[in-house]
Chains A and B, each alone.
Chain A
Amino acid sequence: MIPIYVHGWGAVSPVGWGMASLVSSLAQDQRPASTQIQRPDGFPISVHKVPIRNPRPPFLALPRLRRASPTTHFIVGAGLEALGLTDRPTESKRVGVICSVMGGSVIYSERFYGEVLAEPRTASPLLFPETVYNAPASHLSSVLGSTERNYTLVADQTGFLDGLSTAATWLNEGLVESCVIIGGEEVGWATAEAGRLLSPFPIAEGAGAVLLSTQPSSVRLKLITRAHPFVRSKRRSDVWSDMVNELLSAGASVPDWLPPQKPGSCLSEGSGNLATFLGDGLAAGGAWATAAAVASVARGRNSAAVGIFGSNFQARGAIFVRE
């Protein structure tokens, strides 16, 4: 494998728009405020929403994004920040795009299905296309003017690391010049209810992104662990231990990550478990943990590991080192 380097990172999270908000909130332990979202019967559920950005970012005025979902807004926001194009999207033609989602554009799906049940003949044709899993990734490629490869991966919190792995393969094969990987999510009532039933953390929304290329930079992707799926022949605690041991064997100093974590945990060396801080960001959670690790190496750490114990899919980790 040829070396793969990190050239940018970005985040939209419940503590604000931009990686700087996330880094300073982590440093000062300023946790996001909870907001209440209501189930159809009025039952309230606490979640962590992304604060409205005022003034609105200029990219939201692009015609292509006029009707786009919040997931798209978060994914494009984090992706542009990673590309160094914050607020000023310019054409970036040879960039591959990989988006990881778990719930996807659920708010529009809820609305559209509600309209279908009420009267299918008048269900909005404007909503349906935005419910498709790959709509956010497509919008980002369009904003960038890039006709390069574009994948949307559906997974749990670990999907972001699967995206890194796929991007590394594309870069190794020379299929793209650079690749931006984004994990993003939005919270509607259905996601909040699903989280209430299954997640040990409040559900959170937002996106995180990392830009990879083979051009040298100060942060190198040293390792992505094997995928450790939750097949029934293995206890989940063993799956997690196997993954952490793989990180330890590769030189990471994370023995305190054992014993296993709660499902949905997104650990970032130096920053702790981001799910306990920001909430369970689903696909965005893995992205935030990775972006936090990368940013900490860029700020001077020699290395930082990421370890993610997904909700229902797998455990996976990665190590970034300073060059």
Chain B
Amino acid sequence: MSLFDASRQRTKIAAEVVLPEIPVASRLSIKEFQRIDRAGKMLLWAAVEAWQQTGWSATEDQIPMVLGTTSGGMTLGQDFYRQAFGSGLSTRLQSTRITHYQPQRQALDVMDALGFSGPVSIIANACASGSNAIGHAFEMVRSGQYTRAVSGGYDAISQLVFAGFDSLQALSPTGARPFHLRRDGLTLGEGAAVLCLEELDSALHRGAQIHGEILGYGSATDVSHLTQPHPDGDAALATMQAACEMGRVEPRDIGYLNAHGTGTLLNDSSEARAIARWAGDDARNLPVSSTKAGIGHLLGAAGAIEAVVCLMALAGQWLPPQGPTDEVDPNCNFPLVVSPQDREFSLALSNSFGFGGANASLLFGRRI
């Protein structure tokens, strides 16, 4: 951990992003870009990359944007707090911090950077935020309200959130080992991922490059506890069923499942039980991995970046590995993907679960 002094924390590791020093090419001036905090900059990098792939240009049309985050510009909030405590009546920079701390400002920065406008929704459903955001944007297009939508998730590591997970003893001192029998917690990561969605006929009509399809979305609430999942994964089961029902597919049709798989004792056993209940005997042939083993838990960005992983895997016909797992939790009745594999498959499911019982699953399809 180099972003702040973690020497007094129980855990001292995290998966940090190395941000480019140059500003991302956009309609924002260098001064405007510099005012943006670390989380907002990661969001902008991801949004510009996604937008450039679409062939879309600045437009007067309404394009909704749905983003997930757990903490927006928290690092600015921390700066605000420390100055209020340390500098008496000085309010220098405080107004700017308040403004840019809020995720709606970060979303508007993206619109200004890319030159579009439309309704913005910031979904803060803890670690399911990114999947909920993509699912919500998907439903806006699916319902015919809009032809296009921008969606994704973002979060930067902050001292408050890091210390929060550490206080709960949810962080692994050695690195996350999802579904390992002797796992000891998660590793926090940071980042952003943005997906540009377009109604299929519209995309086909203009000859767009299509990376994949979203076919289903399920969202449900686990009401058993604020921070702990139901041991049998009732809500996880409900979201996987709902996403597959919307996509009209059966568990046996799924070729890869990107698990929430945080590496905590309670999440992984609950999720494993839910997968077993949902897929039954078909789970034995369902490759599962948690890519958090490689990049950490990106909180509000997790569902979004894992959606990108699923789409890349579908497009490239490979299974994303989570690394060696020598002793697997006996609740897992599915094969873990522990090394890179080529595989022909056409459907992938992604799970995201969070504090407050926020649960979401997304179903993706290959587009040839």
Asked if A and B bind, the verdict is yes
Asked whether B111 is an interface residue with its Cβ less than 8 Å from the other chain, the reply is: yes
Interchain nearest-CB distance for A312 vs B (Å): 6
Asked whether B98 is an interface residue with its Cβ less than 8 Å from the other chain, the reply is: yes
Asked whether B182 is an interface residue with its Cβ less than 8 Å from the other chain, the reply is: no
Choose among B117, B125, B126, B169 the residue that contacts A233 (Cβ–Cβ < 8 A): B117
Footprint of B on A, CB under 8 Å?
A: 39-41, 43, 64, 97, 101-102, 104, 109-110, 112-113, 116-117, 119-121, 123-125, 128-135, 137-139, 141-142, 145-156, 162, 165-166, 169, 172-173, 189-190, 193-194, 197-198, 226-227, 229-234, 312-314
Residues of B204-263 contacting chain A, CB below 8 A: 219-224, 226-227, 234-235, 238
- Residues in B neighbouring A123, C-beta threshold 8 A: 163-164, 166-167
Asked whether B318 is an interface residue with its Cβ less than 8 Å from the other chain, the reply is: no
Closest A residue to B227 using CB positions: A129
B126 and A154 contacting across the interface, CB-CB below 8 Å: no
Residues of B169-206 contacting chain A, CB below 8 A: 169
**Please, could you name 30 A-B residue pairs with CB atoms under 8 Å apart, sorted by A?**
A112-B164, A113-B160, A119-B8, A123-B164, A129-B226, A131-B164, A132-B355, A138-B356, A138-B357, A142-B357, A145-B223, A147-B220, A147-B238, A150-B358, A152-B356, A154-B69, A154-B72, A154-B102, A166-B121, A169-B143, A173-B139, A190-B81, A194-B80, A227-B118, A229-B118, A230-B108, A233-B115, A312-B104, A312-B105, A313-B108
> How far apart are the CA atoms of A132 and B143 in the complex, in Å?
31
Footprint of A on B, CB under 8 Å?
A: 8-10, 62, 69-70, 72, 77-78, 80-82, 84-85, 88-89, 91, 94-95, 98-99, 102-105, 108, 111-112, 115, 117-126, 132, 136, 139-140, 143, 145, 159-160, 163-169, 219-224, 226-227, 234-235, 238, 354-358
B91 and A154 contacting across the interface, CB-CB below 8 Å: no
> How far apart are the CA atoms of A166 and B238 in the complex, in Å?
21
- Residues in B neighbouring A120, C-beta threshold 8 A: 8-9, 163, 166-167
Name the residue in A109, A113, A139 with the highest tally of chain B Cβ atoms < 10 Å from its Cβ: A113
A124 and B124 contacting across the interface, CB-CB below 8 Å: no
Interchain nearest-CB distance for A227 vs B (Å): 4
- Residues in B neighbouring A193, C-beta threshold 8 A: 84, 94
> How far apart are the CA atoms of A145 and B221 in the complex, in Å?
10
| CB contacts between A and B, total, < 8 Å | 195
A110 and B124 contacting across the interface, CB-CB below 8 Å: no
Known interface pairs A129-B168, A147-B234, A154-B104. Does A141 touch B163 (Cβ–Cβ under 8 Å)?
no
B160 and A109 contacting across the interface, CB-CB below 8 Å: yes
- Residues in B neighbouring A148, C-beta threshold 8 A: 220-221
- Residues in B neighbouring A152, C-beta threshold 8 A: 123-125, 356
B125 and A169 contacting across the interface, CB-CB below 8 Å: no
Known interface pairs A129-B227, A197-B95, A197-B98. Does A154 touch B143 (Cβ–Cβ under 8 Å)?
no
- Residues in A neighbouring B81, C-beta threshold 8 A: 110, 113, 190
Closest A residue to B105 using CB positions: A312
Known: A43-B89, A233-B115. 13 other contacts (CB 8 A): A116-B159, A121-B9, A123-B167, A133-B70, A149-B220, A150-B125, A156-B102, A169-B143, A173-B139, A193-B94, A197-B94, A229-B108, A229-B118
Choose among A119, A134, A149 the residue that contacts B126 (Cβ–Cβ < 8 A): A134
Interchain nearest-CB distance for B223 vs A (Å): 4
A147 and B166 contacting across the interface, CB-CB below 8 Å: no
- Residues in A neighbouring B136, C-beta threshold 8 A: 151, 166
A121 and B8 contacting across the interface, CB-CB below 8 Å: yes
Known interface pairs A43-B89, A169-B143. Does A134 touch B120 (Cβ–Cβ under 8 Å)?
no
